[in-house]
Amino acid sequence: MVNESMSNMKAKEGLRFVGVVERAGEQEAKVRILPEFCAGLKGIADSSHIIILYWMHMRDSEEERQTLVVFPRKHAVNVEKGVFACRSPPRPNQIGLCVAQLLKVEECLLTVRELDALEGSPIIDIRPYLPRADLIPNARAPEWTLHGPPT
């Protein structure tokens, strides 16, 4: 039954980018939302942090998409892991995820801190960070992830 339903799964075409990283930087970055999606920002300034989903366009190659096992580079340990067990850029779909501090909203331009996307990265979606839903106080993580940068 599972194999039958999985064979019916197809990638949805028509993924729409809603914006672009206009200026990159962890201390301050600018995300430009396309005019047709600006209405979707209504109320976003009420959040101190947002979740930004973006396309890792500089890593979008068939070789990167075929990579399933990596050595996470940003960590001090040399441990081989599957891409679904870490946040390595090579993966089957080049979707990046980042929780960023929202500093300012000016019409269709968001100023954020702690964005790890590159300049020119297309934005897939933006969602509010909701501590009640997104913070898991007793979450467990592998020891090797507790050292090094946050992502």
Per residue in 77-91, pLDDT tens?
678 888 888 777 888
pTM (2 d.p.): 0.82
Please, what is the Cα angle at 71 between 65 and 77, to 5 degrees?
160
pLDDT in tens, 19-29: 999 999 879 99
Distance CA 13, CA 127 (A): 21
What average pLDDT does range 132-148 have in this prediction? 81
Q: How many CA atoms lie within 13 A of 79 on its CB side?
A: 14
Distance CA 52, CA 31 (A): 10
- Topology given in CATH for the domain delimited by 16-129: Elongation Factor Tu (Ef-tu); domain 3 (2.40.30)
Confidence (pLDDT) at 39: 97
What ranges do the domains of the chain cover?
16-129
Confidence (pLDDT) at 29: 97
